[in-house]
């Protein structure tokens, strides 16, 4: 009998993602109040060295080495429970910061480092399974976008947390150590709420411990595959950059002498940059892929690191805040992208050993870079050739960012666009607009908004717009396929011809007729071959007649005999109109004009007759077109005919009877107008008999026609319109 696997159902995944999102919000409110920035400020309060600050910056990640023992300690436990309990425990640990009120100097610094290390150890126990939990509650194809949305949520909550920290530390009551410890305790409360949401996430995955050699086996297997090694290295170096850029706070406090609340305000600027970065990334993450964006962000960070290395301490405060803004923007983008790349690289099996190894590597790299940054800061303090105490640290950061950028070139991501393609999108306003419209179309559920976005894409000639229209053409929405096919007729895109041909050849497709119609705008041998085959195989059927209409647009004049033969047989209104279009295109002044009025009026349908007249007379190139008068007629009965009478009065016969026709119109005597116009043709019979054949044909058509009841206004208007332009053709100015 079948049983449930570790894979969550759609409902469970939705519930899990919702709980994880709420965890992210509460965790964001608490994590800033507990993290290395606040701890560094406490350590600086007790005179911490650069080496100690470097360790504090790296401790968050160094303790990831602990995750190696997680599979052994928690084997068989649900990963969601391990995650939640670890988060609860780390909130309890920070309560011990209260002992700092009774310590001073080195003893206080040792206590801070010890408590923070234990805090980071408990955090690492949860982080070791965090990526596995994320993978359980996210779909593969939506992972990039989901990670961006989570990071946006985290950034907003962190912003609120930092704003609260800034205001608290700006109050005299919260100055000094007491304010910092109070902030930590507030963070502990937020952390507890975040932990409870983790425990609500449904999950059946358990921590696996395949054996004592599992880690080495996983390591050997990963080393053989570039699609695992490169994301791991980028993940570790990305967090290493986060550690190194944390020296910005020390720079502000020691080089510039800023107070605690201003240092918090600086991180608040960073939170704004993080929010903007995640919102900027949202439309790009899943479409462009991580690879090109990682390269761009690392190059940006390299530039910012070099800027920090040469910034003098005498500039206005705004200059440092502006530099920090761009640094945080690139850094947050990097952290989001490298997390998405890592989560995507997690194998189906050995997930916990894999993430444990990722955390171990991260810990080693973070510790190495953090200590190196601290040592370089101490060297800078004694070096005569540097700008400030942290110049060498930031120059080292510049080298790490460049290394990560180069490594990003080797990220195996088949989904990603090339760097050139990405640059074409990001650096071109036209391409960027098309890309953003396409992205909104993917997520918009509002029908009117989707219509607007589709219209924007249809008007864009960019490759991105073409790609998105191809997606819609291949998609399940019939309405969107119809819309796209019609737009491809109005604005041909030869790149999509193959897709149109497939749609036209599919006899079971609902939009096949639209595709056949669309092919009339593509003068290509493949289009002509398919249309001829369908016109022959499905002769007399609607699809075959649409194919003939498209062949007419391709100027296939040899199909004219077939069109005329079919026109002589029984046809539905739609089929007759399609054939009329085809015949009018191929032979606009041909013999079909002789029975135009008979064919247009015989069905007794105003709509059919208007369309029939518009097709035939429109191809003759008369100006103004008959549709202008028909539109006026719709607005007010009699107005279109009155306008036509005035226009046709340039000829004496019409001018002579103008008042008579107006009187008939005012009394609603439409048939009298029709009969009067018929008499005009008889009066000018001699002139028309010497005219070109198309004029003679139209004259005969009007003379021999009978107007059904109810169509007299239309018949009179069409007849006078024809008479006007026939006279114009035979009488010289």
Mean pLDDT in residue range 192-206 = 81
At residue 234 the predicted structure's pLDDT band, cuts being 50, 70 and 90, is confident
Whether 502 shows a pLDDT value over 90: the answer reads yes
What is the pLDDT at residue 607? 93
Residues facing 78 on adjacent strands = 206
DSSP 708: P
Mean pLDDT of the chain: 82
Beta-carbon count within 10 A of 607 CB: 9
Higher pLDDT residue, 315 or 450?
315
Beta-carbon count within 10 A of 510 CB: 11
**CA 453, CA 442: separation in Å to the nearest integer?**
10
Tokens of 593: 């004009």
Mean pLDDT in residue range 637-651 = 89
- CA dihedral sign of residues 571, 572, 574, 577: positive
**CA 284, CA 300: separation in Å to the nearest integer?**
17
Domain boundaries, the chain: 10-203+212-422, 428-472, 475-580, 588-733
**CA 383, CA 362: separation in Å to the nearest integer?**
31
At residue 168 the predicted structure's pLDDT band, cuts being 50, 70 and 90, is confident
Contacts of 35 (CB under 8 A, 6+ apart): 60
The CA distances from residue 691 to 569, 584, 695, in Å, are 30, 20, 6
Q: E strands within 631-697?
A: none
Higher pLDDT residue, 261 or 393?
393
For 674-729, how does the pLDDT look when each residue is reduced to its tens digit (9 = 90+)? 999 999 888 887 777 788 889 899 999 998 888 998 899 999 999 999 999 988 88
Nearest residue to 160 via CA among 27, 20, 36, 253: 27
Whether 5 shows a pLDDT value over 60: the answer reads no
At residue 7 the predicted structure's pLDDT band, cuts being 50, 70 and 90, is low
What is the pLDDT at residue 3? 46
DSSP 232-270: HHHHHHHHHHHHHHTHHHHIIIIIS---HHHHHHHHHHH
What is the pLDDT at residue 286? 58
Match 């955390």 to its residue by tokens: 359
Mean pLDDT in residue range 54-72 = 70
For residue 604, report the phi and psi dihedrals to the nearest 5 degrees: 75, 15
The CA distances from residue 267 to 91, 262, 318, 541, 595, in Å, are 22, 9, 13, 71, 82
Q: Environment class of residue 64 by beta-carbon count within 10 Å: exposed (0-12), middle (13-18) or buried (19+)?
A: buried
For 115-142, how does the pLDDT look when each residue is reduced to its tens digit (9 = 90+)? 888 888 888 787 777 767 777 777 666 6
What is the pLDDT at residue 635? 82
DSSP 693: H
| Contact indicator for 29, 161 with CB cutoff of 8 Å | yes
What is the pLDDT at residue 518? 94
Whether 444 shows a pLDDT value over 70: the answer reads no
Whether 429 shows a pLDDT value over 70: the answer reads no
| Contact indicator for 365, 236 with CB cutoff of 8 Å | yes
At residue 54 the predicted structure's pLDDT band, cuts being 50, 70 and 90, is confident
Tokens of 96: 């011990």
- Please report how many Cα atoms fall inside a 13 Å half-sphere around the Cα of residue 504, on the Cβ side: 31
At residue 432 the predicted structure's pLDDT band, cuts being 50, 70 and 90, is low
What is the pLDDT at residue 730? 82
**CA 555, CA 440: separation in Å to the nearest integer?**
40
Longest alpha-carbon distance in the chain = 122
Tokens of 498: 């193959």
The CA distances from residue 578 to 517, 563, 698, in Å, are 10, 10, 21
Beta-carbon count within 10 A of 601 CB: 23
Tokens of 37: 């920035």
At residue 453 the predicted structure's pLDDT band, cuts being 50, 70 and 90, is low
What is the pLDDT at residue 574? 92
What is the pLDDT at residue 513? 93
Higher pLDDT residue, 732 or 697?
697
| Contact indicator for 66, 124 with CB cutoff of 8 Å | yes
Mean pLDDT in residue range 393-399 = 92
The CA distances from residue 271 to 70, 301, 479, in Å, are 32, 17, 43
Residues belonging to the chain: 733
Of the given ranges (42-56, 131-145, 329-343, 510-524), which has the lowest mean pLDDT? 131-145
For 712-725, how does the pLDDT look when each residue is reduced to its tens digit (9 = 90+)? 999 999 999 999 99
Nearest residue to 495 via CA among 523, 520, 463: 463
Q: What is the pTM of this model?
A: 0.58
- CA dihedral sign of residues 615, 616, 619, 620: negative
Of the given ranges (73-82, 127-136, 245-254), which has the lowest mean pLDDT? 127-136
Match 């247009």 to its residue by tokens: 600
Whether 102 shows a pLDDT value over 80: the answer reads yes
Higher pLDDT residue, 40 or 573?
573
DSSP 504-535: HH-TT-TTHHHHHHHGGG---HHHHHHHHHHH
What is the pLDDT at residue 285? 60
User: Of all residues in the chain, what percent carry a pLDDT higher than 90?
Assistant: 23
Per mean pLDDT, which of 17-26, 43-52, 107-116, 368-377 is the most reliable? 107-116
Residues facing 206 on adjacent strands = 78
| Contact indicator for 304, 326 with CB cutoff of 8 Å | yes
For 319-372, how does the pLDDT look when each residue is reduced to its tens digit (9 = 90+)? 999 999 999 999 888 888 887 777 777 766 666 667 667 767 777 888 788 888
For 25-39, how does the pLDDT look when each residue is reduced to its tens digit (9 = 90+)? 888 887 777 777 788
Mean pLDDT in residue range 370-380 = 84
Nearest residue to 187 via CA among 35, 63, 60: 35
**CA 541, CA 99: separation in Å to the nearest integer?**
90
Whether 570 shows a pLDDT value over 80: the answer reads yes
**CA 657, CA 651: separation in Å to the nearest integer?**
11
> Which helix (DSSP H) or strand (DSSP E) does residue 517 occupy?
helix 512-518
> Which helix (DSSP H) or strand (DSSP E) does residue 75 occupy?
none
Mean pLDDT in residue range 438-462 = 63
Looking at domain 10-203+212-422, does it have CATH number 3.40.1260.20?
Answer: no
What is the pLDDT at residue 1? 41
For residue 599, report the phi and psi dihedrals to the nearest 5 degrees: -70, -35
**CA 88, CA 78: separation in Å to the nearest integer?**
16
Match 């007629």 to its residue by tokens: 633
Higher pLDDT residue, 218 or 656?
656
Whether 454 shows a pLDDT value over 70: the answer reads no
**CA 677, CA 669: separation in Å to the nearest integer?**
13
| Contact indicator for 457, 496 with CB cutoff of 8 Å | no
| Contact indicator for 270, 317 with CB cutoff of 8 Å | no
- CA dihedral sign of residues 263, 337, 410, 228: positive
Tokens of 172: 């005299």
Runs of H (alpha helix) within 260-316: 260-281, 285-288, 290-310
At residue 621 the predicted structure's pLDDT band, cuts being 50, 70 and 90, is confident
What is the pLDDT at residue 413? 63
């Amino acid at each position: 009998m079948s049983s449930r696997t570790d894979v969550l159902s759609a409902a469970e995944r939705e519930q899990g993602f919702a709980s994880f999102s709420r965890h992210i919000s509460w965790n964001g409110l608490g994590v800033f109040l507990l993290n290395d920035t606040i701890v560094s400020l406490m350590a600086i309060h007790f005179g911490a060295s650069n080496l100690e600050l470097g360790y504090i910056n790296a401790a968050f990640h160094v303790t990831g080495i602990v995750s190696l023992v997680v599979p052994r300690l928690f084997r068989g436990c649900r990963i969601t429970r391990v995650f939640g309990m670890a988060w609860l425990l780390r909130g309890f640990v920070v309560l011990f910061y209260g002992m700092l009120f009774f310590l001073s100097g080195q003893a206080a610094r040792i206590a801070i480092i010890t408590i923070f290390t234990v805090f980071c150890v408990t955090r690492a126990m949860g982080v070791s399974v965090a990526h596995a939990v994320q993978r359980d509650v996210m779909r593969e194809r939506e992972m990039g976008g989901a990670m961006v949305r989570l990071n946006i949520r985290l950034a907003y909550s962190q912003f609120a947390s930092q704003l609260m920290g800034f205001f608290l530390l700006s109050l005299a009551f919260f100055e000094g150590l007491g304010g910092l410890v109070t902030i930590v305790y507030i963070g502990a409360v937020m952390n507890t709420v975040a932990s409870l949401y983790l425990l609500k996430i449904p999950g059946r995955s358990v921590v696996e411990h395949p054996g004592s050699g599992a880690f080495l086996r996983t390591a050997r297997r990963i080393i053989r595959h570039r699609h695992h090694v490169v994301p791991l290295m980028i993940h570790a170096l990305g967090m290493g950059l986060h550690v190194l850029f944390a020296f910005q706070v020390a720079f502000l406090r020691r080089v510039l002498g800023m107070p605690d609340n201003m240092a918090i305000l600086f991180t608040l600027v960073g939170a704004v940059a993080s929010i903007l970065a995640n919102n900027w990334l949202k439309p790009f993450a899943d479409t462009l892929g991580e690879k090109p964006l990682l390269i761009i962000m690392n190059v940006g960070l390299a530039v910012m690191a070099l800027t920090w290395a040469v910034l003098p301490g005498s500039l206005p405060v705004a200059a440092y805040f502006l530099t920090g803004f761009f640094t945080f923007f690139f850094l947050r983008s990097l952290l989001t992208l490298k997390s998405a790349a890592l989560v995507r690289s997690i194998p189906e099996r050995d997930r916990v050993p894999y993430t444990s190894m990722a955390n171990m590597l991260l810990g080693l790299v973070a510790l190495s870079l953090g200590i190196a940054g601290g040592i370089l800061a101490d060297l800078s303090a004694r070096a005569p050739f540097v700008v400030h105490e942290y110049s060498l640290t930031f120059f080292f950061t510049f080298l790490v960012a460049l290394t990560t950028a180069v490594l990003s070139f080797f990220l195996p991501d088949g989904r990603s666009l090339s760097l050139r393609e990405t640059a074409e999108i990001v650096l071109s306003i036209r391409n960027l607009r098309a890309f953003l419209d396409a992205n909104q179309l993917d997520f918009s559920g509002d029908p009117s908004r989707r219509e607007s976005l589709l219209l924007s894409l249809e008007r864009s000639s960019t490759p991105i717009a073409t790609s998105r229209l191809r997606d819609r053409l291949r998609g399940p929405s019939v309405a969107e396929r119809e819309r796209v096919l019609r737009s491809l007729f109005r604005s041909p895109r030869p790149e999509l011809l193959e897709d149109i041909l497939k749609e036209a050849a599919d006899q079971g497709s609902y939009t096949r007729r639209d595709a056949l119609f669309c092919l009339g705008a593509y003068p290509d041998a493949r289009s002509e071959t398919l249309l001829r085959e369908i016109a022959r195989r499905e002769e007399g059927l609607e699809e075959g007649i649409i194919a003939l209409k498209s062949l007419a647009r391709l100027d296939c004049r040899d199909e004219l005999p077939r069109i005329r033969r079919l026109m002589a047989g029984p046809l539905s209104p739609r089929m007759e109109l399609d054939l009329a279009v085809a015949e009018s295109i191929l032979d606009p002044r041909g013999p079909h004009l002789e029975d135009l009025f008979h064919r247009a009026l015989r069905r007794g349908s105003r709509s059919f007759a208007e369309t029939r007249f518009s097709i035939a007379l429109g191809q003759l190139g008369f100006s103004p077109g008959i549709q202008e008068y028909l539109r006026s007629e719709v607005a007010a009965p009699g107005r279109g005919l009155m306008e036509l009478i005035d226009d046709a009065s340039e000829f004496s016969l019409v001018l002579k009877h103008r008042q008579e026709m107006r009187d008939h119109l005012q009394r609603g005597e439409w048939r009298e107008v029709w009969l009067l116009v018929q008499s005009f043709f008889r009066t000018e019979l001699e002139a028309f008999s010497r005219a070109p054949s198309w004029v003679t044909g139209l004259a005969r058509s009007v003379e021999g026609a009978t107007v059904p009841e109810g169509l007299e206004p239309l018949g009179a208007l069409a007849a006078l319109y024809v008479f006007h332009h026939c006279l114009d053709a035979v009488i010289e100015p």
